[in-house]
Amino acid sequence: MLINYLLFIALALYFSLPHAGVYKHIDENGNVTYSNIPSNDSKRVDLPPIIVVPHVDTGEVEERISKRRESMKLKEDREQLQNKIAEEEAQLNEARNEYKDGMPDRLGSERNYQRYLNRVDRLREEISVRENNLELMKNDLNKMPGKTR
Please give the residue range of the domain that contains residue 98.
Answer: 58-143
pTM to 2 decimal places: 0.56
On whether residue 148 sits in a domain, the answer given is no
On whether residue 81 sits in a domain, the answer given is yes
On whether residue 25 sits in a domain, the answer given is no
Tell me the pLDDT tens digit for each residue of 29-42.
999 998 888 888 88
CA dist 83 and 133 (Å) reads: 14
Which of 1-15, 37-51, 108-122 tops mean pLDDT?
108-122
Tell me the pLDDT tens digit for each residue of 66-115.
999 999 999 999 999 999 999 999 999 999 999 998 889 988 888 899 99
Please say if the pLDDT value at position 63 is more than 50: yes
Q: Which residues pair with 37 in a beta bridge?
A: none
CA-angle at 63, arms to 58 and 68, nearest 5°: 125
On whether residue 24 sits in a domain, the answer given is no
On whether residue 117 sits in a domain, the answer given is yes
> Quick one: pLDDT band at residue 149, thresholds 50, 70, 90?
very low
On whether residue 26 sits in a domain, the answer given is no
pLDDT confidence of residue 4? 75
Strand 32-35, strand 22-26: pairing? antiparallel
